Amino acid sequence: MSKKDVFKRVLVLICFVLVLSPLAAQNNETDSASPQTEIIKGKNGEDIVITQPEFKGGIEKMYKYISDNFEYPEDAQKRSVNGKMEVEFTVEKSGDITYVGILKGLDYSIDDEVLRLLKAMPRWIPATKNGEPVRYKVTMPLTIRASRNKKSSQALSDYREQ
């Protein structure tokens, strides 16, 4: 691994820590290693327990996956493309990722790279409803930043589920 690659990964990890710090401060009461669970009332007043899907290993592993596998397109590098985009995908009952899409694109070459990255994502731990796996749509904003030397980039995400 070259010094450039090491520098790129260190920058990405530092940015992920900065992004995660406010999220961790808001969730002091919950265990970050376990998926989010909510209890809602059903039509007949019964409790329905919904557990959101989770990237295997947790959100930190997801950020690592993104930083390790995102390849900043050369044409976007030349134009120093930066900005925010929003993606969505479905986590199936099996944990497979399907229906990957761009809700708010940034640049055609970056959009293509993000789609490639999401489609290649490993299986997730699926969402559950009363203990049974269910399909679940995930929406996730990403921030793409070109570094000053234009030879590396950063892909940051702020993970949200729906």
Give the CATH number of domain 3-29+55-126+133-161.
3.30.1150
SS3 assignment, position 72: coil
pLDDT over 70 percentage in the chain = 69
Reported as a single tens digit per residue, the pLDDT across 126-156 is 999 999 999 999 999 988 887 644 444 455 5
Residue 17 has pLDDT above 50, yes or no: no
- Domain segments of the chain: what residues? 3-29+55-126+133-161
CA angle 137, 84, 139 (to 5 degrees): 5
Helix axes 3-26, 59-69, angle to 10 degrees: 150
